[in-house]
Structure 1
Amino acid sequence: MVIHYKCPNCGDDMGFDSDSGMLTCQSCGREDHIEEFAEDLNTAVLTDDEAKEYHCENCGAMLITEAETAATTCSFCGAGVVLQERLSGALAPAKVIPFTISKEEAMQAFKKWCRNGRLTPKGFMTADRIKGITGMYVPFWLYDLNTKAKVEAIATKVRTYTSGDYEYTETKYFDVYRDIDLSYLKVPVDASEKMDDKIMDKLEPYPYDQLKDFKTPYLAGYIAEKYNFDDKELYPRVEAKIQKFIDTYISSTITGYSSVSYNHKHINTKKVRSNYVLLPVWMVYYDYDKAEHTFAMNGQTGKVVGKPPISVSRVAAWFGGIAGTSFVTLKLISIAMGGGLW
């Protein structure tokens, strides 16, 4: 089933407006509160994982979508459509964080980000080669986790002192035990096969206080994908993601010692719950120096991530400036300490 939102007043297309947070008609200005829409996405029939054809209810054109596509735009009339069966049953998201940054705002924010690149080529900084910008809801799993850790370690305190003509070193040993209970809420892991995991991780954090109950009108006018990996398949990744935080926390509980040697660490992490959510991302495609560069922007905070091209001459000048500053600093220190001119 294709869901296409038409304005009851004038019959034109309606789409989600990031400024007002409502379903809006650009022709007559009608606005509808999305929270008032009644939907049942749990009883619809699921589709298979194949490309499929749909008819646009606006112009009658044939839409051919990939298996992961859950919302898209008609290539012929530009109408935003939602493919309901790909958001139904087990594929129905629990929550969504809507876009608050419009396409125009995203464009301006990206240009500003380009201009702030100290080591990027001047041609890149002009930001005049943007090939395209696409608003996309990316599938994520949010995990609530509980970790219990039992730690055994040997710690030392070393004291050095002088008595008479001799210098002594005193080392005291301590048995250290820790029984730790940690809880993590809403740890995100992207569930899209197409998205670069490292880029998606760097887009964090998202304002989770802005999570809304999922309604399909939030997707109108944007692209959305269903997940490729379920919460069980991604669980090893979320465990690995929090491991460094667990290690840091354990270390923070054992302080004031000269050294710490761990004899035993037993860490047991369990999933309390997981929720399938859609998070807003602006994908920016930029042509520069005969290559396409891809960047991602958090659709709520405006944070931009990606690898811009680097100017060799600017890097050289930057390091040269650092070297020059270091030279002057060392020379002043030498003079202050009675040293001669270099």
Structure 2
Amino acid sequence: MLIHYKCPNCGDDMAFDSASGKLTCQSCGRNDSVEDFSEEFISTRFSDDEAKEYVCNNCGAAVITDADTSATSCSFCGAAVVLADRVSGNLAPDKVIPFKISKEEAIQAFKKWCKNGRLTPKGFMSADRIKGITGIYVPFWLYDLHSVADVTAKATKVSSYTRGDYIYTETKYYDVRRKIDLTFNKVPVDASEKMNDELMDKLEPYDYSSLKDFKTPYLAGYLAEKYNYNNKDLFPRVKSKVSSYIDKYIQSTIGGYSSVQYIEKNVDTNETKAHYVLLPVWMVYYDYDKQEHTFAMNGVNGKVVGRPPLSFAKVSAWFGGIAAATFVAAKLITVMVGGDIW
């Protein structure tokens, strides 16, 4: 089933506007609340199965998608459409964070980010080779987790003191035991097979106070993906993701010792709840030096992640500057202790 939002005033297409947070008609300027939009103006067309071909209600053209797409636009008339059968039933998200940065704002934020690259080539910093920018709702699982850590360790405290002509070293040995109870809320893991996991991880944090109950109008005008992996599939990954935080917390509870040797560390992490959500991401495709570079931007706060090209001349100059500064510092120290300067 395709869902298409028509303007009650003029009948033209409506799409979600990140600035106002409402469905907006580009022709007459009408704005409607997502929650209150009348079903009378929602055009739908049903499909018998998970076919990759749908029919646009606006112009009758075929809308071709892959099996993972849940929102797109008609390539002929540009109408924003939502593939409702791919965001319903067990594929229906629990929550969504709507886009807060428009396409124009995303372009300007990306250009500013490019110009701040101290070690990138000058041609890249000009930020005038944006090949494309696409707003995508990426499927994520947000996990609530409960972890219990049982730790035993051997620790020492070493102290020294002087008596007469002798220096004494005293070592005290301790048996350490910790039983730690930890709770994690809303730990995100992307559930799309297409998305680069490293990029998606680095887009954090999202403002989870902006989560809203899922409604299909939020997707109008953007692309959206449905999940490829369920919460059970991704549990090992989220468990690995929190393990470093658990280790750091354990270390923070065992302080004041000269040395700590862990004898046993048992950590049991369980899922208490998993929420299927869609999070907003601008994907930026940049053409530089005959190569396409892909970057991702948090659709709420404008944070950009990716690997820009490096200028070898700038990198060499940077390392040369560090080496020169180190050499000068060493010479100054030499002078201060009675040596001479070059």
| TM-score range normalised by the length of the shorter chain | over 0.9
1: distance between equivalents of 2:71 and 2:175? Answer: 58
| Matching residue's letter, 1:256 | G
1:199 aligns with 199
Partner of 1:225: 225
Structure 1 residue 35: Cα displacement: 2.0
Q: Deviations over 1:132-178 (max 9, x none)?
A: 00000000000000001111111110011222222221110111111
Alignment gaps of 5+ in structure 2: 40-45
Contact 1:46/1:89 (8 A) holds in 2? no
Give the count of matched residue pairs: 336
- The corresponding residue for 1:290 is 290
* Rounded Cα–Cα distance in structure 2 between residues aligned with 1:299 and 1:38: 27
SS in 1 for 2:261: strand
Q: Could you report, residue by residue, the CA deviation over 1:175-226 in whole angstroms, capped at 9, with x for unpaired residues?
A: 1111111000000000000001011000000000000000000000000000
Q: Where does structure 1 lack aligned partners over 5 or more consecutive residues?
A: 40-44
Contact 1:131 1:286 in 2 (8 A): yes
Instruction: State the alpha-carbon separation in 2 of the partners of residues 72 and 237 from structure 1.
Output: 29
Match of 1:66?
66
Give the stretch that moved more between structures: 142-151 or 320-329. 320-329
CA contact (8 A) 1:71 1:223 kept: yes
Amino acid at match of 2:128: D
Matches within 5 A, 1:184-263: 184-263=184-263
Structure 1 residue 47, shift from structure 2 partner:
7.9
Contact conserved, 2:283 with 2:294, CA < 8 A, in 1?
yes
Across the aligned residues of Structure 1 and Structure 2, the Cα RMSD in angstroms comes to: 1.4
Q: CA deviation at 1:38?
A: 7.8
CA distance in 2, matches of 1:293, 1:71: 24
Q: Which amino acid aligns with 2:3?
A: I
**Cα distance in 1 for residues equivalent to 2:179 and 2:58:** 62
What is the alpha-carbon distance in structure 1 between the residues aligned to residue 186 and residue 205 of structure 2?
10
| Correspondence for 2:300 | 300
TM-score, scaled relative to structure 1? 0.96
Deviation at 1:51, TM superposition (A): 5.2
Q: Is the 8 A contact 2:47 2:54 kept in 1?
A: no
| CA offset digits 1:56-98 (Å, max 9, x no partner) | 1111110111000000011111111000000010000000000
Q: Deviations over 1:259-318 (max 9, x none)?
A: 111111111111000000000000000011111000000000100000000000010111
Match of 2:105 in 1: 105
What amino acid is the match of 1:142?
L
Residue in 1 that maps onto 2:93: 93
Identity of aligned residues (%): 70
Task: Tell me how far apart the structure 2 counterparts of residues 93 and 211 of structure 1 sit (CA, whole Å).
Answer: 11
Return the letter of the residue paired with 2:157.
K
TM-score (norm 2): 0.96
CA distance in 2, matches of 1:233, 1:46: 29
